[in-house]
């Protein structure tokens, strides 16, 4: 689906954001794109969407080059940006105007998701709260059935019930031939729905792995204390003791703690992951 080879990019008068970045992503997954502030997550999404052109290297999405912005490419890629704006029209007018531009648009799916998000189609988009507008944009993005959905901080501005609703709706709305790439800092919001993790730091890819491969190898536990004989690979102090990454014993798996994993990776903890890029 996405193939990035030797990508180099920097903003004008700034140091290199990416240098020789390589990345391959296949369809049929929800991938979390993580990184520190300024690591280039949003920039990477924009380059995959064709909004920014790489200075060197190649990006290919489903065999197409994003920077050409051919209509067939744009009809199969939907970006939900962190910031967005709508004209002063109702949801139904927006849908009437925009749905026809997407050949695989599913009106029933849109109605279902809008119902779940409790959005009134007669309401003017500019009279809705930021969170409501974001929910509408997510609903619209899902209904386009685009093969590639790029979500930049999708849970920013959503209230707590909406965040859980977002997870439910996302998982139930996507097909096996779609790839959802989510860039976020709110790792807890997507922890249970992603099946692949990509971490970028200092312009390099430092981790790309399926989450099941991580949980197969490591446990994420809260412990009252961390001692040497526990063979903890990484630990952090938390309320009630320590959050620690331990090697999996007897095949006993735990839920993944992405925040802990992220901190372990950026602090160079000795994790041994098959797809871990050194």
- Residues in contact with other proteins by CB under 8 A are 46, 49-53, 69-72, 74-75, 77-79, 81, 83-85, 87-89, 93-94, 96-98, 100-102
* φ, ψ dihedrals at 263, nearest 5°: -60, -40
Task: Pick the closer one to other proteins by CB: 89 or 269.
Answer: 89
Question: Shortest gap between Cβ of 84 and other proteins (angstroms)?
Answer: 6
Question: Shortest gap between Cβ of 149 and other proteins (angstroms)?
Answer: 12
Task: Pick the closer one to other proteins by CB: 84 or 212.
Answer: 84
Task: Pick the closer one to other proteins by CB: 77 or 261.
Answer: 77
Question: Shortest gap between Cβ of 260 and other proteins (angstroms)?
Answer: 33
Question: Shortest gap between Cβ of 127 and other proteins (angstroms)?
Answer: 14
Question: Shortest gap between Cβ of 18 and other proteins (angstroms)?
Answer: 15
Task: Pick the closer one to other proteins by CB: 48 or 199.
Answer: 48
Task: Pick the closer one to other proteins by CB: 43 or 209.
Answer: 43
């Amino acid at each position: 689906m996405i193939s990035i080879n030797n990508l180099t990019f920097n903003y004008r008068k700034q140091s290199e954001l990416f240098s020789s970045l390589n990345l391959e992503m296949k369809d049929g997954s929800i991938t979390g794109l993580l990184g520190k502030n300024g690591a280039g997550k949003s920039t990477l999404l924009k380059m995959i969407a064709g909004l920014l052109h790489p200075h060197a290297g190649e990006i290919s999405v489903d065999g197409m080059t994003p920077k050409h912005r051919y209509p067939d490419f744009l009809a199969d890629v939907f970006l939900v940006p962190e910031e967005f704006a709508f004209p002063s029209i109702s949801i139904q007018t927006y849908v009437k105007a925009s749905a026809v531009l997407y050949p695989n648009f599913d009106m029933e799916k849109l109605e279902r998701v809008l119902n779940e998000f409790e959005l009134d189609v007669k309401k003017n988009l500019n009279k809705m709260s930021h969170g409501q507008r974001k929910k509408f944009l997510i609903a619209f993005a899902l209904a386009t059935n685009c093969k590639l959905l790029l979500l930049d901080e999708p849970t920013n501005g959503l209230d707590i019930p909406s965040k859980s609703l977002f997870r439910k709706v996302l998982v139930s709305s996507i097909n096996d031939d779609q790839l959802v790439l989510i860039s976020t800092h709110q790792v807890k919001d997507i922890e249970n729905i992603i099946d692949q993790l990509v971490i970028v730091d200092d312009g390099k890819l430092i981790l790309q792995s399926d989450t099941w491969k991580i949980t197969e190898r490591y446990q994420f536990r809260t412990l009252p204390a961390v001692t040497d004989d526990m063979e903890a690979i990484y630990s952090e102090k938390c309320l009630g003791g320590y959050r620690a990454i331990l090697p999996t014993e007897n095949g006993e798996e735990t839920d993944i703690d992405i925040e802990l994993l992220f901190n372990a990776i950026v602090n160079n903890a000795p994790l041994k992951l098959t797809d871990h890029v050194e």
